[in-house]
A and B are shown apart, each in its own frame.
Chain A
Amino acid sequence: AQSVTQPDIHITVSEGASLELRCNYSYGATPYLFWYVQSPGQGLQLLLKYFSGDTLVQGIKGFEAEFKRSQSSFNLRKPSVHWSDAAEYFCAVGAPPHQAGTALIFGKGTTLSVSS
């Protein structure tokens, strides 16, 4: 069955420190992978996505993610965290674009707190 696992429910990072949020997926075909961020009381905003090509993808707000097929992982990273990065982060996997109606499968999310 298709699934996404985010092993860390809650992470606290000091401002200025580096960040890595983990994501593992189970998907029968070529995965299309996404990271979304949700600030409190807000909707979801796309940070970055991976479809093919370079396995290191750059996103908005200084985030990047690396696709590792052998580990079925798509971890999100940021070299230096800012207090405004405190939010909930969701990893998601989707079907290839030609399957137009297929929805995303989301992980349960990781809440990031930033300490000063």
Chain B
Amino acid sequence: NAGVTQTPKFQVLKTGQSMTLQCAQDMNHNSMYWYRQDPGMGLRLIYYSASEGTTDKGEVPNGYNVSRLNKREFSLRLESAAPSQTSVYFCASRDWRGTSNTDTQYFGPGTRLTVL
């Protein structure tokens, strides 16, 4: 049971390049999330997927797109990277089975992205 995995762990891009961050979970969770973490800003939600086949914008969606490929995988794409997208990106999945005791978000190890 690997939990939430993310690839790559590190990436350096030039302005204008594109890339896709991959996220997978093996816990059979319905909901998945992408956050970005910037110094002094905490974590901010980019996009989320409440269930397979649905995606919704979060607080800071501009410049990003997502795909919920199947129940396990939720990818984040930067079509034309900008220096402002330099950040640490975290994927999370949510264990929600209709009862409060089980409601927990599990986080991946993160992807450190630098855009030059």
Contacts and interface: CB of A to CB of B under 8 A. Distances in A.
B40 A9 contact: yes
Interface residues of B, number: 35
B56 A46 contact: no
B51 interface: yes
Interface string B89-116: 0101010101111111111111000000
Contact of B49 (A51, A97, A101, A105): A101
Interface of A: 4, 9, 32, 34, 36, 42-46, 49, 51-52, 90, 94, 96-98, 100-101, 103-109
The 5 A-B pairs with the shortest beta carbon distances in the complex, nearest first, are A101-B50, A51-B100, A108-B42, A106-B42, A44-B107
24 contacts: A42-B110, A43-B4, A43-B90, A43-B108, A44-B107, A46-B104, A46-B105, A51-B100, A52-B100, A94-B103, A97-B99, A100-B94, A101-B49, A101-B50, A101-B54, A101-B56, A103-B58, A103-B105, A104-B43, A104-B45, A106-B35, A106-B42, A108-B40, A109-B40
